[in-house]
Amino acid sequence: MPKPQGLRSYGDESAQVVGTWDAQRVPWACCAQDAGDSWSVLMSLIDRFMPDYSLRELDRVAVAAGPERAYELVRRIDIQRLAFARALFGLRTLPQRVLAALGGRAERRGISSRIEDITRPGSGFLLLGEEPGHEVVVGSVGKFWQPSIEFVTLTPETFRTFSRTGFGKLAWCLRVDRREGGGAWIAVELRVGATDAASLSRFRRYWLLVGWFSRAIRRGLLRTVVRDLGAAHEEARMIPGDRILPESRFQKTHVVTIESLPERLWPWLVQMGCRRAGWYSFDWADNGGVRSAERIVPELQHLSVGDVLPARPKGPDGFAVLQLEPSRSLVLGSPSPLPGGSASGGPPWRTTWAFRLEPIGDEATQLTVRVRAEYRPGLKMAMIRPVMAAVHGLMERRQLENLRKRAEAGVRI
């Protein structure tokens, strides 16, 4: 089952969620930000209808099926497939059903909740737009915090510019992107805002309760999609550096989704190293107590195959650059695989440490990090391996989380 989160080891096939309330984005701004602003412009359909917002939540999964099949499935998926969603909708419509029964009117059963049903006339929700095969957007304006929601009837053209005070505004989309090497990315994105500060405050209180159910439904749908379309198994995917140590006895893969383009993430990777910008992990353990850089260092942006990134505050030990493709991949490891390198005199193992940057549409990056080790088996290595694996996993997760924060700084999420 996928578990929404930002950082994962292989096997989780995870989605991820990002979301932070920003009270600075009210009252409503009806124009898109300029491309020269500090955050990157996301070229998706939802931007045309809701370019500004106070909360964005995003969940993603990677599936084995191609984008055509993936879009066909998500476009017609029925929320009622989720048992708890059926229970929630049943609870919400209980008063109407009781009144219908008391009035001798027949109760409607077997109602579906596909996009066509959600956006039917009088529902309060509107199909804003669709790019067939890629993205579909639904929106609504209303006083969502009221027991009986007061919706505003709009058209796609008037939704974007609606600014009457006293209302909340939301849009959500289903988006499918082709994945490199096969498969597809499926995203569910929600944007929430309000037309004035008082309405935003009401919406935030309302969202404290309803937000949990909204996330549960989105994540439940993505789990269903993964079951239907097949999970993308990250550990089985080949990445640069895998062929350097064909007899590897140890492999561990971590993945993080970063809401920034590969070109923005790459400079942070190039400058890594002790006595350089640091490793972005526990500085007291791997950087001599010196705080890792929180800015791009121009003089550290030139890296070539054969360069060695220091591993310690003192001494020659380090990670050699084995392979390099700007904004795509960086493979570090033991110097011995390099031309003229030798395994003699070094530790009783050889390693590769690969960083692969995979773009997700036009807005994000999946950073896959894989360590592989080749060594001669024995009692000593049998005892050392689990300890080293645990330490590596702890420090790797810390590193990737800090890389994510740095690459996303200044990028609007």
What would the pLDDT profile of 37-46 be if each residue is shown by its tens digit?
Answer: 333 344 689 9
Domain boundaries, the chain: 7-77+114-233, 238-408
- Residue 381 near residue 375, CB atoms below 8 Å: yes
Q: Residue 260: CA atoms inside 13 Å, Cβ hemisphere, count?
A: 23
> How many CB atoms are closer than 10 A to CB 72?
13
Confidence at residue 1, expressed as pLDDT on a 0 to 100 scale: 34
Tokens read off for 192 = 């929430």
Q: Is the dihedral of CA 189, 190, 196, 200 positive or negative?
A: negative
Q: Around Cβ 412, how many Cβ atoms within 10 Å? A: 17
Please check whether the two domains, 7-77+114-233 and 238-408, share a CATH topology: yes
Which range among 138-147, 281-290, 341-350, 374-383 shows the weakest confidence by mean pLDDT?
Answer: 341-350
pLDDT tens column, 222-244? 999 999 999 988 888 899 999 99
Q: Lowest mean pLDDT: which of 24-28, 95-99, 128-132, 165-169?
A: 24-28
CA distance 408 to 399: 14
Q: Which CATH architecture has domain 7-77+114-233?
A: 2-Layer Sandwich (3.30)
Q: Among 394, 334, 327, which residue's Cα sits nearest to residue 367? A: 327
pLDDT at 265 over 70: yes
279, 292 Cβ separation under 8 angstroms: yes
Written as one letter, the residue type at 237 is: R
pLDDT value, residue 363? 86
Q: How far, CA to CA in Å, does 273 sit from each of 36, 285, 333?
A: 31, 13, 12
| 337-347 residues labelled b (16+ CB within 10 A) or e (exposed) | beeeeeeeeee
Q: What is the per-residue pLDDT for 34?
A: 33
Structure tokens at 356: 């692969």
Look at residue 298 in the predicted model and tell me its pLDDT: 96
Question: Percent of the chain, pLDDT > 90?
Answer: 63
Cis peptide before 27 (omega within 30 of 0): yes
CA dist 76 to 71, 123, 247, 304, 410, Å?
9, 18, 46, 49, 36
Which residues 6+ apart lie within 8 Å of 74 measured at CB? 174, 176, 186, 225
Pick the more confident residue, 30 or 385: 385
Output the CA angle 188-190-194, nearest 5 degrees: 170
Per-residue pLDDT at 15 exceeds 60: no
CATH architecture of 238-408: 2-Layer Sandwich (3.30)
* Average pLDDT of the residues in 190-210: 95
SS3 403: helix
SS (H, E, C) 185-214: EEEEEEEEEECCHHHHHHHHHHHHHHHHHH
Helix 379-408 × helix 262-270 angle, to 10°: 130
- Number of neighbouring beta carbons within 10 Å of residue 47: 18
Lowest-confidence region among 86-95, 196-205, 294-303, 382-391? 86-95
